[in-house]
Structures are given as C-alpha cells and as structure tokens.
C-alpha cells in the first residue's frame, strides 16, 4: 500500500523552522521525505493533502488508563484507542490497575489481542509489580515480559515496602525491564484529596503534603542505584521530587520521569471550590511554586517526557462530590492543544521542544522505534492544525468519559488526522 502526505509542514530542529515537505509511505513505513516544491508521482497512491498544516511524528503517551478489563463503563480498549487517535496519539501504554489486575500473562495477551483487533493505535501494556497490586508478593516478571508487557508498575498505589521494591528492581534489572513507580506514601495521604496548600487551608481541609510523593522518590532512587535498574517516576508534581530526580541524574543513577499537562498548567489555587470533582486528581494539583519547579524540571531535562495520565470516570462517579468521587481526569483529547496554547503560542517553548517531549523522548526512554519522521521508520504520523482555535467541548470526546476541568477553554493546535503504520485511523 502506498500513501502520500502532500504539502505538510515538518519541524526542522537544525533550522528551528517549519519546512514544506511531501512524505511517502509504503507498506507502513516512511519511504521518502522530499521538499514540497518537488514534483512527485502519486499515481495509484492514497493521497492526504495536509494543506500546510503541521505534520508531526505520532504522539506517544506512556501513561494512560483504559479501564479494560473490569471497568468498561468508564472506558475500554477500543474507546480509549479512539480517544487517543483523536488526540493525535499513535502509541499509548496502559496501566495495570484493572479488574482483574494485569498481573498474569493471560491478561497481558487479552490487552494486546483486543488492541490489535481494533486496528487503531498501538497499545503497550504494563504489568503489575505485585499480585493484585497488594504489595505482598511479586508477580511472575519473566512470563509477563514474554507475554508482551513493557515494564512493571503498581500504578494507582505506591509500593509501600522498601524490600519489596528493591526485590522488584533487582528482578526487573535481570530481565532488562524498567520499573515505573507511582510514588505515594499511604501513611501521609489518608483522608485527604487536595494538596497541602492555599486551597486546603482556605477550606479547612486536611492536605496531602508534598513529602507523600517525594519520600518514595528519594527511597526509590537509592534502590535504583543499588540495583542498576531503569527507574521511571510517574506523574511528578512536587518541587522536592524534581530536586531529588535532578540530583539522582547528576550522580549517574538511571532514572527518568514524566509530567502531566495539568501539573504544568494548573495549581491548587485554580480549583474553583468544593462542588466540582473534575478537579480531583492524583497526584493533586500542587502549589504555584511546585508548578514552577516541574516546569523548570521539564525544560532542563530533569523530567524527560509528557504523559496524560488519562483517567476516565463516569459522570455518576464524579457526581458523588469531592470526598467520594474517584481521583482522575481524562487527557488524551486535550493534551497537545493545552500545551501548544499555553507554552508555544506564548513563546515560552519552541514547537520543536513540545514535539520532542511528546515523540522522540518517550521513544528514547522506553526504547521504541517510533517517535520520529525518518525514512525506514514506522509511518506513525499526526497532522495538526496549529492555527485553528476552538473551545474544549467534553460532549464531543470519543472517550466514554468527559471528566475534565478544561471544558470551555479556548485552545489552538488541534489534531486533524492520525496515521498508524500508514493507515488513517482518525480524521477530523
């Protein structure tokens, strides 16, 4: 099969500019990239006219929740994949806190088989560190790797026992696999949902302190140093965590980290009140000082990649109020427009910086062959209209859920087509 993407604008890192290009795809791989002023033979090929829009490597999200199996009233592999494709993502990695937990080879294969049947985006499953994510007994790492798991994490809960985490890291190291950590000390978060800051003080709430995250980061970088494992920190949100990760990298510990758009854009002082559980997420929105710290960490390379932590919940669940509603917001369909509008349009970041953190860097961190527009690479491509401004309308989401605090926000940079292995899986 042959496909030509004509008249696109591709970011050139050397010149720090967008350049007009035609891209040819043959049998799912990029076969040619030529200047847009050259004449090409499109006879017999499928043609997509990008009409001067941005043509990017497909976005990669290494932290999503597809809720399948077990919670398919919130999301499933097919709807989550559609949501990802609409957001411009061509590869996503799904967390194991499902029911059953992804702690067996059978569940790993279920996820892979269902995603392949959907023929939408690439879905990479994580497996849990401990059986049923209870923190008591390690899973069979070898069989999970053989089944197709790409790493081990008890996301949703922190591994509370240090010896358990050290044993997990040593085993993962022996298999050349990463450990991906949700960093949270349970003893410091009981009975709280908001960060310890201005919002919690104003409303007389018990706050979640920054130490609840940073204590596990500090513990785990030392364990990673002892075992030599690739240790990856989930959804970094605090100034202290950034400081610890930066120090760990400076001394050569193999640590990488991720951050979510909402922790780069929002603080606890943006929460409008106690009536809307769409502002309840884990980690919680932190203080403006923490926002500044994670931004600096992303910009100086302490934090490697951007993820969404796409966490769908039903309207009924979120309607229970902030005390009873589950933590989490959806993010796949708004991530790029949010970041483009707030950081590229304002001149804080170059377009190239944003694209790198959402494509090349996740591919580098997790050793994926995707993530770049190069001849011979998989034709995973996203076309984005960076000029189009429109409001976030949760009613149009392809996700089963619409739990977002960003409804009504006017943003630029909306994906208009998503291509995976040369196949168009979504168009506007």
Q: Indicate which residues carry an active-site annotation.
A: 309
As given in the structure block, the two tokens for residue 154 are: 């008890």
Q: Residue 250's CB: how many other CB atoms inside 10 A?
A: 9
Task: Please give the Cα distance from 182 to 130 (Å, whole number).
Answer: 13
SS3 state at 148: coil
Task: Please give the Cα distance from 323 to 280 (Å, whole number).
Answer: 9
Cis peptide before 100 (omega within 30 of 0): yes
Task: Please give the Cα distance from 105 to 340 (Å, whole number).
Answer: 39
As given in the structure block, the two tokens for residue 397 are: 């989401």
3-state DSSP helix/strand/coil percent for the chain, to nearest 5?
A: 30, 25, 45
**Long-range contacts formed by 18-27: CB under 8 A, 24+ apart:** 18/54, 18/351, 20/52, 21/55, 23/55, 23/373, 23/379, 23/381, 25/1, 25/379, 25/381, 25/419, 25/422, 26/1, 26/2, 26/422, 27/1, 27/422
Tokens 């994490």 sit on residue: 153
Task: Please give the Cα distance from 11 to 197 (Å, whole number).
Answer: 40
For residue 79, the number of C-alpha atoms closer than 13 Å in the C-beta half-sphere is: 22
């Amino acid at each position: 099969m042959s496909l030509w993407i004509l008249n696109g604008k591709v970011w050139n890192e050397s010149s720090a500019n967008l350049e007009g290009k035609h891209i040819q795809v043959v049998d799912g791989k990029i076969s040619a990239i030529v200047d847009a002023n050259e004449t090409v033979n499109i006879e017999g090929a499928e043609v997509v006219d990008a009409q001067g829009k941005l043509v990017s490597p497909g976005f990669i999200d290494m932290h999503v929740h597809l809720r399948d199996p077990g919670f398919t009233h919130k999301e499933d592999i097919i709807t989550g994949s559609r949501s990802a494709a609409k957001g411009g993502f061509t590869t996503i990695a799904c967390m194991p806190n499902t029911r059953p937990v992804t702690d067996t080879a059978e569940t790993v294969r279920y996820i892979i088989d269902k995603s392949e049947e959907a023929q939408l985006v690439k879905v990479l499953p994580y497996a849990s560190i401990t059986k049923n994510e209870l923190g008591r007994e390690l899973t069979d790492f070898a069989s999970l790797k053989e089944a197709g798991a790409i790493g081990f994490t008890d996301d949703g809960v922190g591994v509370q026992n240090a010896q358990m985490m050290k044993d997990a890291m040593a085993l993962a190291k022996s298999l050349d696999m990463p450990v991906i950590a949700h960093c949270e000390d349970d003893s410091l978060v009981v009975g709280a949902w908001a960060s310890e800051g201005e919002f919690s003080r104003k409303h007389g709430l018990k706050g979640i302190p920054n130490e609840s995250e940073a204590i596990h980061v500090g513990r785990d970088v030392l364990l990673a140093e002892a075992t030599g494992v690739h240790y990856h920190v989930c959804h970094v949100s605090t100034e202290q965590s950034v400081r610890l990760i930066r120090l760990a990298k400076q001394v050569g510990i193999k640590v990488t980290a991720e951050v979510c758009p909402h922790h780069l854009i929002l603080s606890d002082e943006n929460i409008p009140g106690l009536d809307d559980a769409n502002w309840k997420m884990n980690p919680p929105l932190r203080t403006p000082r923490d926002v500044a710290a994670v931004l600096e960490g992303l910009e100086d390379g302490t934090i490697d990649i951007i993820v969404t932590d796409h966490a769908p919940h039903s309207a009924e669940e979120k309607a229970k109020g902030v005390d009873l509603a589950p933590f989490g917001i959806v993010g796949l369909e708004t991530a790029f427009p949010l970041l483009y509008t707030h950081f590229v349009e304002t001149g804080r970041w170059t377009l190239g910086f944003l694209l790198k953190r959402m494509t090349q860097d996740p591919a580098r961190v997790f050793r994926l062959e995707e993530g770049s527009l190069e001849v011979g690479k998989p034709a995973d491509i996203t076309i984005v209209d960076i000029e189009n401004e429109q409001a976030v309308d949760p009613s149009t989401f392809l996700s089963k859920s619409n739990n977002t605090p960003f409804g009504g926000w006017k943003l630029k940079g909306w994906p208009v087509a998503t291509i995976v292995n040369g196949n168009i899986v979504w168009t506007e």
